[in-house]
Structure 1
Amino acid sequence: MSLHFLGNSVTLENVYIASSGTVCGPLEYLGPLGSCFDKSLQDYHYGEKSFEKAERKMLRDALDICLKREKLKYKDIDLYLGSDLLNQITSVNYLARELPQPFVGLYGACSGFALSMAMAGLLIDAGYVDKIVTMVSSHNATAERQYRYPVEYGVQKKDTTTFTATGAVSTLLTKQPQSVRVEAITLGRVIDYSQNDANDMGRAMAPAAFDTLVNHFQDLKRTFHDYDLVVTGDLSMYGHQILKEMLQRHKMDVVRYNDCGCMLYDLSSQPVFQGGSGCACSALVTMGSLYPQLKDKKLKRVLVVSTGALLSPMMSAQKESIPCIAHAISLEAIE
């Protein structure tokens, strides 16, 4: 079929979610959604010699769980898409060495979940492939070592800090009808409000989420009221409040809105500062909690806006600001 964008958005007709696999870290398991995930880590090494190998193992386990549910083998998938936070998207690239089919690595920082789902949706709806698996991961220790300081240093955190979620999620998308479909997507623009503090991601990413939400609603002539729930990816408490204020100043009626970084943890008792972030944050909440509710018809339509800070340690050292992006996917239960 021929796909045509309406501004930054496009509606899809034949893209369905067939299965998923979710693996979470220790703190994520102890949070309010812990029982929603398929597998959890007892510690951050996960039986491996390095945190990076542990992240790769999480990805492999999530993929195996996802495919096992549909009785599929690695070779049965037409294309794999993957995203993580590390330089050269190391985790998914190294896992892809084990895959017999084509692989495309994507980088969108913490927006990787919605980005990979959107790209998969476009390829399936255009008729190029039948089955795509998306894979995303993040690990608190690997991300902190790359973007800030190794956790072993015990560096004191600012109040605005977010906590990188540890987890991996694989999702199988297909053109064969299922109980939940990817109904629409909105691709984000890179937005830079001249923020340069790597310990204040919520403030940096909120404008990107605002831009994508405004474009999504304008393109598709919708409002918050057209969704049972709208979630952003990882703005956490501080960024979540900033976004709400921006939307209200834009005369939007903000209802049924939450942030995955606030949903993944018990912010009153767990040591996660402002809440969660990372590729795994929106992926775990969406596929672990929201997707089952859509399957069970407890939710009808959900909008997921994964947010990403496109910083690099090198640019931060050069005092550059932090460009950010947000991509949106609309998930809908089939009657």
Structure 2
Amino acid sequence: MNKKQGMQSVVFTNPPIITSTANIVGPMEGKGLLQGYFDYIMPDNLNGLASWEQCESYLMEYAIKRAIEKDNSTMEEVDCVFAGDLLNQLMSTHFAMKNLKRPFLGLYGACSTMVEGMLLSAILLDGGFFSKIVAAASSHHDAAERQYRFPNEMGVQRPPGAQWTVTGSGAVVVSTSGSGPRITTGTIGKIVDYGIKDPNAMGPAMAPAAVDTIWQHLQDIGRTPAYYDMIFTGDLGSVGRDLVIQLLQEKGVDISTNYQDCGCMVYKENQDAHAGASGCASSAIVLCGYIYKKLLQDKLKKILFLGTGSLHSTTSYQQKESIPCIAHAVSIEMP
């Protein structure tokens, strides 16, 4: 049976269930807007470890273990893990998975990685290949800054449109049985590149990719934005969020009343995050805390959740290439 619908989407015959979630954050995130929605807040950005990269591996390992614990499952019951981060060759993820010793497929979708993992998990579960998968993503502010921008010790002043990479990790357990919200559809994004070259302008770079995927999802599935209680994007920040609303309005689609970006939901205005949060963990910690809890409370019943990713590298930036971007989407609905 062909489950593809439209150009880029799939509709699941047996929608997989998100049976548990877990998240962990750094101290700055713990002082932000979502206090009370985190499983653990670290006292500092090293948490007693020797490097920021080691700390990021700890973040992911904690989130995965905690999600499985909350699922009342064991590590041995997990058929496969989809996970990724921002660092060179998934450095933090690989060291975390070395300790977890489960079948593993590493993903690099930049900040779209969390949704990419959920989408692939749902496809394999609905297809009958596995019964329980974990999808996870992490990022660490200090490690990402060192790799993509400047040494932290330099204290470089960031432009107003820049965003703050989240220190944290989120993990979801997706199963063929149990209770919880279901992943009912998915839309696979395609690369969109508007020629932006400034690595501090992540929101404007990724916004067109988010618009492309939202538009294609609505066309493929035959829905209007009103079908969803909320539409969430991953880490466009305030600048990118406003661009998404504007660009969709130009297509005749209004999402201004039921749309928010996770990058605008993490930090308080006085925390000097400028345009908001970014990083793989931006969408992951919001989904695995605030959004999941609202779904379980029936305060949200149907959401469209997008991961947005900027796919540039240190090499492409140094070679003065533009920034290719992508966005993937999943529909998450309460039964």
**Does the alignment reach a TM-score above 0.5?**
yes
Does the alignment pair 1:257 with 2:252? no
Partner amino acid, structure 2, of 1:229: M
Q: Shift of the alpha carbon at 1:101?
A: 2.5
List aligned pairs for 1:77-116, cutoff 5 A. 77-116=78-117
Q: Hey, what does 2:28 align to over in structure 1?
A: 27
Map Cα deviations across residues 92-117 of structure 1 (whole Å, 9 max, x no partner). 11111123331000000000111000
In 2, Cα distance between equivalents of 1:250 and 1:3: 27
Quote the RMSD (CA, aligned, Å).
Answer: 1.1
In 2, Cα distance between equivalents of 1:247 and 1:316: 29
Conserved? CA contact 1:9–1:220, under 8 Å: yes
Q: Shift of the alpha carbon at 1:265?
A: 1.4
In 2, Cα distance between equivalents of 1:78 and 1:147: 34
Q: Hey, what does 2:296 align to over in structure 1?
A: 295
Q: Hey, what does 1:47 align to over in structure 2?
A: 48
List aligned pairs for 1:104-143, cutoff 5 A. 104-143=105-144
Q: Which runs of 4+ in 1 moved over 3 A?
A: none
Does the alignment pair 1:272 with 2:273? yes
List aligned pairs for 1:298-317, cutoff 5 A. 298-317=299-318
Conserved? CA contact 1:194–1:321, under 8 Å: yes
SS, match of residue 271 in structure 2: coil
In 1, Cα distance between equivalents of 2:178 and 2:71: 14
Partner amino acid, structure 2, of 1:197: D
In 2, Cα distance between equivalents of 1:34 and 1:166: 15
In 1, Cα distance between equivalents of 2:75 and 2:200: 39
Conserved? CA contact 1:124–1:175, under 8 Å: yes
In 1, Cα distance between equivalents of 2:285 and 2:315: 29
Q: Hey, what does 1:6 align to over in structure 2?
A: 6
Conserved? CA contact 2:163–2:277, under 8 Å: yes
Q: Shift of the alpha carbon at 1:251?
A: 1.0
List aligned pairs for 1:51-200, cutoff 5 A. 51-200=52-201
Gaps in structure 1 of 5+ consecutive residues: none
In 1, Cα distance between equivalents of 2:148 and 2:234: 19
Partner amino acid, structure 2, of 1:80: V
Conserved? CA contact 1:92–1:135, under 8 Å: no
Provide TM-score, normalisation by structure 1: 0.97
Conserved? CA contact 2:61–2:97, under 8 Å: no
Q: Shift of the alpha carbon at 1:2?
A: 4.9
SS, match of residue 121 in structure 1: helix
In 2, Cα distance between equivalents of 1:49 and 1:179: 38
More deviation, 106-115/73-82 = 73-82
Map Cα deviations across residues 115-157 of structure 1 (whole Å, 9 max, x no partner). 0000100000000000001111000001111111122210111
In 1, Cα distance between equivalents of 2:4 and 2:244: 29
SS, match of residue 157 in structure 2: coil
In 2, Cα distance between equivalents of 1:3 and 1:130: 19
Provide TM-score, normalisation by structure 2: 0.97
Map Cα deviations across residues 288-333 of structure 1 (whole Å, 9 max, x no partner). 1011111111111011111000000111001000000000111111
Q: Hey, what does 1:333 align to over in structure 2?
A: 334
Map Cα deviations across residues 56-112 of structure 1 (whole Å, 9 max, x no partner). 111111112111112322221111111111110111111111233310000000001
Q: Hey, what does 1:18 align to over in structure 2?
A: 19
In 1, Cα distance between equivalents of 2:211 and 2:4: 23
Map Cα deviations across residues 171-199 of structure 1 (whole Å, 9 max, x no partner). 11000041211111111000000000001
Partner amino acid, structure 1, of 2:280: C
More deviation, 91-100/130-139 = 91-100
Partner amino acid, structure 2, of 1:304: F
Partner amino acid, structure 1, of 2:316: M
In 1, Cα distance between equivalents of 2:5 and 2:148: 35
SS, match of residue 128 in structure 1: coil
Conserved? CA contact 1:136–1:279, under 8 Å: yes
Conserved? CA contact 1:309–1:325, under 8 Å: yes
SS, match of residue 330 in structure 2: strand
Conserved? CA contact 1:75–1:99, under 8 Å: no
Partner amino acid, structure 1, of 2:130: V
Q: Shift of the alpha carbon at 1:253?
A: 1.9
Partner amino acid, structure 2, of 1:49: A
Q: Percent identity?
A: 39
In 2, Cα distance between equivalents of 1:219 and 1:303: 14
